[in-house]
Amino acid sequence: MTDFSKRSTSEVLDDHLQCRMAGKIEEDLERNYAPDVVVMTPKGVKKGHDAVRTFNKMLREHVPHDYVFPIKSTDGRFAFIEWRAREPGRSVEDGADSFVIENGQIVFQSIHYSLQETMPG
């Protein structure tokens, strides 16, 4: 069994993003999220893996699936990503997530984005 607790903040962040891009939410939860993770969004504060599942489902339903990450940065236990997602008819131009990572697991995540409906091109 792999000891994920020794990973750096960058390693956890990269693994999290790879799992999400591959649609592997359960693998992401198992490897990268503390069981009592706190997730904050404009919709409220929720805790635990079920909160992550709920927000992931909401994101998958509302946000295009073609992501780019123009900014990924870490400092100690803190991480930040800026992201965009686009498809014909809708896009997110201002996605931003912040993380606190301790002992190889995400213990806090904040999520913000604005969905923009556009005319098909």
Instruction: Indicate the pTM of the whole model.
Output: 0.90
- Domains of the chain: which residue ranges? 4-115
Q: What is the pLDDT of residue 1?
A: 52
Q: What is the pLDDT of residue 82?
A: 98
Contacts of 24 (CB under 8 A, 6+ apart): none
Decide if domain 4-115 falls under CATH 3.10.450.50. Answer: yes
Taking only the tens of pLDDT, the chain with its 121 residues reads 567 789 999 999 999 999 999 999 999 999 999 999 999 999 899 999 999 999 989 888 888 778 899 999 999 999 999 999 988 888 899 999 999 999 999 999 999 999 888 755 5
